[in-house]
Chains A and B, each alone.
Chain A
Amino acid sequence: MPIISAKDVGLRFVKSYDKTWTARSKLARLAGTLTGRRQPVSYHHVLTDINMEVKDGERVGVIGPNGSGKSTLLRVISKIYSPNSGIMKVEGRLSSLLSLGTGYNNVLTGLENIQMNALLHGMTMKEIERKLPEIIEFADIGEHINKPMKYYSNGMIARLSFSIVLSLSPEILLIDEVFSVGDIAFKRKSEAALHELLDRASIQVIVSHNLDLIANHCNRAIYIEAGRMKMDGRPDEVIKRYEQDYGAAEEKTESS
């Protein structure tokens, strides 16, 4: 049974100027050691003490202000980042849709890019071959499918990306703000297909600023602020708390 379990998960990044081993930073460090004035490495704590357990059938919406660590949390769940402290356990076939259009090569045709991208998302060549007609049909970009991707408009790239994403069959689905793409006709078509995709996954974790979507679609919500979990509960309650915090802040800014 698919499950996501986080116990005291913490993640920190070494600040960019301490990140790589440059001769200058090494010399400065050596000089600091010799003179006894060595500066400790500075860290940016992105997530602190995250505790959660997501079980089969849960649709979790993650909300919070910009820079609070929502997308990073998805990256930790999908094991792109390994946590510095705590334990993150994920069981089940996972797909993460953190951005559309990742891993495309402008020189390759749309068809070749579909194959590359589907491989990156963990599909086998047999699966790709089976789903290719479906992906091409859904993207609906006609003869452009055999042209190099550099001739594509942004909308066409998004349509293609979305079609690949919709052909996945994950048990755990992580989505980060990739909901509506393309023109109105495609938006309608993609929304219906997205709901079908969401229904196929037994666990969903959705990061969005669209509070209506979280309220209507999710059965649980998590509110993150400055890398810490501020509230975990029913979507309506969590959204209310978030709106109280940030609605008040907005009102204050407007009145000043």
Chain B
Amino acid sequence: MSLIGGSLCGAMGVFVVLWRMSLVGMCISHAAFAGSLMGLWLGFPPWAGALTASLGAASLVGPLADRPGFSLDTAIGVIFSLVMSLAMLALGLLPGARTEGLNLIWGSLLTVTALELQLMGGIALLLFLFIFLFFKEIQAIIGQRQAAMASGIPVRGIRYACLMLMGLVVACSLKAIGGLLIFSLIVAPAAAALQLTYNLRRMFILSAALGAASSAAGLWLSFRFSLPTGAAIVLVATLILAISMIFSPKRKTAASF
């Protein structure tokens, strides 16, 4: 479970890092968090709430970003605080013991159900299929987005599909990793992989592997020393990022520019 979740987030992160969508990603992941809390409060399954909210946020942010003359930073700032306040509102209104709600913040792998596991497997399949099938278009868009668009590649379609997938990935990994922390599991492995390779294919693989490794190691640490799971995972991922930055072969070349 943690392996799938980690590699999913890791692979997703490549898009986030190379397409400079960190803010968009943050917005979607927090929308998912708010959605799941709302779900809990209104009495439908949290994953359904997360799914609705993150897909909603993804489909809102994509077209907004494509509008000419529109400041995406501002829009995301507004949406971000809106969804956070919704999350807090739901948490505040939650009746009785708030264990489940708090679990959504910090993440807890042990309460994941078989259905959620299957959902995650399906989405993993979808994401890796997407990357495999559209690899050359993804590469063209990363190289130069405007040129890709001008040469007739369906840039908008690919980007929206990617945002939707991000919504799905976030929604299904939320419970395991936690709403506040999931975003760093998306960014950290990809940022670490970026330090280590000049090849996009290797970057996807490396990023997924690092994501899976951070999840597994974090999980082990949390069992061993009874730490909160999500926090342990994210700390491991960040540690990996720090190490790869220190030992990056790109450091020398980057410094000389």
Our verdict on whether A and B bind, yes or no, reads no
